[in-house]
Structure 1
Amino acid sequence: MSSSSSKVQKRQKFEAVFPVLRDELVAHLAAQGMPEDAKEWYTKNLDYNVPGGKLNRGLAVVDTVEILKGRSLTDEEYFKAALLGWCVEFLQAFFLVSDDMMDQSVTRRGQPCYYRLERVNLIAVNDSFMLEMAIYYLIKSHFRSDPCYGYLIELFHETTYQTEIGQLIDLITAPEDHVDLSKFSLEKHKLIVIYKTAYYSFYLPVAAAMYMCGIPHSASNDPYELARSILIPLGEYFQVQDDFLDFAGTPEQIGKIGTDIIDNKCSWCINTALAHATPEQRTVLDANYGRKDAAAEARVKALYHEMDIPKLYEQYEEAAYKRIMGLIETIPAEPVAPQGQVVLKREVFVSFLQKIYKRTK
């Protein structure tokens, strides 16, 4: 079987779990005696906002459980791993629905943002809360008697808080309607990226899989701390890539037109440019960055090329790859598992790194 058809099959198997979870959530609503129009509204909320993305975060939970167990999963194991994967996707949906309102965005995944649908408007605030709370209902429903139950609840709560902290820093550092490049720096960018993206996109899926597999915490060389020390830099590297592709990638490559410059985003490109700018170049950036003006955007892009941002990115990427591989190699190549116990494996992190190294979309 080719890798592309295997990937399609994996996605289809994962997608098949979503209607089961959606129907369980709607049935729970019905059991509370909620009226028909509330059930229909909730169903629409779930169907519109949760499936339909790349599903990378959710699939990462299933992939990690399979790697850690070192074998094919039973039907029950697969369902529970996929459920946790969908919980990560529910969290993503909660963030996106609320983020689109904060940013007053127009489209998401090629369709109108949820809050812009007829009759929805600010009801989307409550709908985003319901997407979040679905996570805890599903985990309680299926993991209540598992030893990892408390850890999973704590993990999702902590990750949500971390992401909200990252969103706050981003919103007050780079509001779309007020450009102040003096607030920008590579240190600020790193902080935003770690809290807003790396924790929930990289650490959360792997830690959820580790808890499901029963990997214990340890007072020395804690496997969760080790995983975090690799996955947070990995998430940072992924976002820097995303920022660079927004500037350098073509719409055919990345599936969208880059808007970071006109949207006043605190991206790696602008922060790197600020770190290397002469006083004259800084004046150009101050005058043109974050303006809703194609000519101003073109001037910033021309300056990026003048400063050789692509070359600086290439240097960053190679250094990041070496640093992350060095961290991965601190995990024993052939870990010895105590009888019946699952242990952390290099393959979990190598598979992540291989998926994103040198990506072009």
Structure 2
Amino acid sequence: MPPVSNATFNGSKRDRFNQAFTIIRQELLDEFAAQNVPEDAQNWYRRNIDYNVPGGKLNRGLSVVDSVQVIKGRALSDAEYLKAAVLGWSVEFLQAFFLVLDDVMDRSLTRRGQLCYYRVPEVGTISINDAVLIESSIYFLLKKHFRGEPYYVDLLELFHETTSKTGTGQLLDLLSAPEDSVDLSKISLAKFEQIALYKTSYYSFYLPVALAMLLCEVPTTYESKSIGQQIEAYTVAQSILLPIGQYFQAQDDFLDFSGTPEQIGKVGTDIVDNKCSWCINTALAAASEEQRAILDASYGRRDPDAEARVKAVFEAVGLREKYRIYEEEVYARINTLIQAVPDDEGPYLKKKIFTDFLDKIYKRQK
């Protein structure tokens, strides 16, 4: 492998990003080996990374690189690309950390078309410690590549704050879905939106853009020459990206119900897990007394027949059409927010940052 300073990146967007992963992965393995841990532990750490980090769609990580290019308004040099890719892969490591733990808590079966990591032979509850190692990898990478940058502490704080918010969202999710007590009167669309905000919006949507803004040294506040107003850059970014994240979670919930394992890469478990999802809350608002009784008796039961009865009610209340209407409405609302963003020259916000995010998920099927 060439020295990092001489690394070049060629090919498609995904190819270049994966080339950066090869460099990052080797840095992590070398650092782990330098701690003089036994060879079997080194091999385990390597398998942990390879199984959990690179197998997804990579949208979060690639969005960091894309956002940096949009803000700079040009193609990146190889050195600039590596820095952006390190931040992008750090988001993917954070995603892997969350997913490994989430699958244990939800007792999920498959993830990204393969067995959930905790279900792999010989792994089991070791997966919890492996998740900690995945998370710690982020802070090694940040220190190695950004220790001398003026925004290094900002990067650390952003990752810590995002992790805290996501953990809060996971707590809200778990408390709303106790395994031994199903009470649909205790859930609501407002609770769903709060869970989605904390569990999904911050790390999946705001984090990648905020990282790109920090890397490009976008100021917290700047004067927009095109509209003659002060722009609170990070506040504006949140005001658009957090609603996109809530839309994404509603979409994810709908695909959990409507998608096949081959299509979405996992077995949908929201119904049997008693999740406070967009689907159940929307169905409850439209259900007749008879349909409500079926949902009360069947939701959150680990029973295929009960799950089938819930899905039948979802179909009967027209959940597919309700989702279609919801998606069009939320897409229009977010686009209105995006159009208010001025496109000033310089290291500032641009509309394209947000339209790229929205276009990636609009009407997605997996």
Q: Give the TM-score normalised by structure 1.
A: 0.91
Matches within 5 A, 1:76-155: 76-155=79-158
Q: For residues 261 and 103 of structure 1, what CA distance do their matches in structure 2 show?
A: 12
Q: CA offsets per residue over residues 160-218 of structure 1, 9 Å max, x none?
A: 00000000011111134532212211011011111111111111111101100110112
After TM superposition, what 4+ stretches of structure 1 lie above 6 angstroms from structure 2? none
Contact map agreement 1:186 1:272 (CA 8 A) in 2: yes
Match of 2:344 among 320, 323, 335: 335
User: When the two structures are aligned, how many residues end up with a matched partner?
Assistant: 349
Tell me: CA distance 1:179–1:227, structure 2 relative to 1, closer, same or farther (3 Å): same
| Whole-Å separation in 2 of the counterparts to 1:49 and 1:248 | 25
AA of the residue aligned to 1:61 = V
CA–CA distance in 1 between the matches of 2:362 and 2:158?
27
Q: Which amino acid aligns with 1:236?
A: Q
What is the aligned-residue identity percentage?
60
Q: Deviations over 1:215-272 (max 9, x none)?
A: 0112853111100110000011111112122223355543455332233222101011
SS for the counterpart of 2:50 is: helix
Taking a change above 3 Å as real, the CA distance of residues 19 and 177 of structure 1, as seen in their structure-2 partners, is farther
More displaced stretch, 93-102 vs 192-201: 93-102
1:271 and 2:254 are equivalent in the alignment: no
Residue 32 of structure 1 aligns with which residue? 35
What letter corresponds to residue 289 of structure 1 in structure 2?
A: Y
Relative contact order higher in (CA < 8 Å, ≥ 6 apart): 2
Q: How many angstroms does 1:104 deviate by?
A: 2.4
Paired amino acid for 1:356: I
Superposition deviation, residue 280 in structure 1: 2.7
Matches of residues 235-246 of structure 1 in structure 2 within 5 Å? 235-246=245-256
Measured in 1, the distance between the counterparts of 2:279 and 2:85 equals 36
Distance 2:260 2:45 in 1: 37
Aligned with 1:357 (options 346, 352, 362): 362
The 2-side partners of 1:256 and 1:36 are apart by: 33
* 311, 317, 323: which one aligns with 2:327: 317
Matches within 5 A, 1:148-167: 148-167=151-170
Query: CA contact under 8 A between 1:107 and 1:113: conserved in structure 2?
Result: yes
- Pair 1:224–1:182, CA change in 2 (3 A): same
Matching residue of 2:4 = none
Unaligned runs of 5+ in 1: 1-7
CA deviations 1:256-312 (Å, max 9, x no partner) are 553322332221010111223333322111011122333322322222222222222
Matches of residues 163-202 of structure 1 in structure 2 within 5 Å? 163-202=166-205
Return 229-238 or 103-112, whichever deviates more.
Answer: 103-112
SS in 2 for 1:232: helix
Distance (Å, rounded) in 2 between the aligned partners of 1:140 and 1:282: 53
User: Could you say which residue in structure 2 is the equivalent of 1:204?
Assistant: 207
Which residue matches 2:68? 65
* 1:345 pairs with 2:345: no
Cα RMSD between the aligned structures? 1.8
Deviations 1:299-333 (A, max 9, x none): 2222222222222222211221111011101111x
SS of equivalent to 1:335: coil
Q: Which residue in the other structure is 1:254 paired with?
A: 264
Secondary structure (helix, strand or coil) at the match of 1:175 reads coil
Amino acid at match of 2:133: M
Report the CA distance shift for 1:122/1:168 in structure 2 as closer, same or farther (over 3 A): same
Structure 2 partner of 1:4: none
**Which residue of structure 1 lines up, in the alignment, with residue 7 of structure 2?**
none
